[in-house]
Amino acid sequence: HAHKLHGQAGTFGFDDVGMKAAQLEQEILTTQEGARPLNTEIVEVRLVALLDQIEASLAAV
């Protein structure tokens, strides 16, 4: 779950990762509540942003 990643990332000083995980979680919830068929495009955008931030954060360590 993204909320677990959000909390853990903040605990270890990766606030940007936590913020992007929280955004992704919110987009997933919003998409699930939306009209059918589901439009998952924004979820994909947020997921890619989260993965990019994780990569950048790990490269900086």
pLDDT above 60 for 5: yes
What's the pLDDT score for residue 9? Answer: 86
pTM equals: 0.79
Q: How many domains does the chain have?
A: 1
CB atoms within 10 A of CB 31: 16
Range of the domain at 46: 2-59
- Of 44, 49, 40, 41, nearest to 20 by C-alpha is 49
What's the pLDDT score for residue 57? Answer: 93
pLDDT (mean) for 17-40? 90
Helix, strand or coil, per DSSP, at residue 13? coil
Tens of pLDDT, residue by residue over 6-15, are 788 888 899 9
Token readout for 9 is 């990332």
Tens of pLDDT, residue by residue over 29-42, are 999 998 899 889 99
